[in-house]
């Protein structure tokens, strides 16, 4: 499953995720084509993923390195409460 943003050139910026047992939303991969980089699209996609997780009562497991960095450095305190306690953020 994924969230995506269509770029003007027909390409997509995306956030891939899987829903796992135990109400875990595993955010596995982000990608922004070169033409879309530097515009905050990855952050926008991840923020939307966190909003979706909150609305659906999922805990987030940030497998993707960008999502992990977001969870550790960018997420609001409220968003940080959505991160699964099983995730070891010290690996970054």
DSSP per position, the chain: -EEEEE-TTS-EEEEEEEEETTTEEEEEEEE--GGGTTSSHHHHHHHHHHHHHHHTTPEEEE-SHHHHHIIIIIS-HHHHTTB-TT--GGG-
Residues 73-83: what's their mean pLDDT? 97
The CATH code of the domain at 2-91 is 3.40.630.30
Q: Which two tokens stand for residue 90?
A: 């010290």
What residue spans define the domains of the chain? 2-91
Total-model pTM? 0.91
Residues 67-89: what's their mean pLDDT? 93
Determine the pLDDT at residue 90.
53
Note the pLDDT tens digit of each residue in 22-55: 999 999 999 999 999 999 999 999 999 999 999 9
């Amino acid at each position: 499953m994924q969230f995506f943003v269509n770029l003007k050139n027909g390409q997509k910026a995306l956030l891939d995720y899987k829903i796992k047992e135990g109400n875990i939303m595993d955010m596995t991969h982000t990608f922004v084509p070169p033409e879309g980089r530097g515009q905050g699209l990855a952050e926008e996609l991840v923020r939307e993923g966190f909003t979706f997780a909150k609305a659906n009562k999922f805990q987030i497991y940030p497998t993707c390195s960008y999502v992990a960095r977001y969870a550790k450095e960018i997420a609001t305190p409220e968003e940080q409460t959505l991160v699964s306690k099983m995730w070891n953020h010290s690996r970054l």
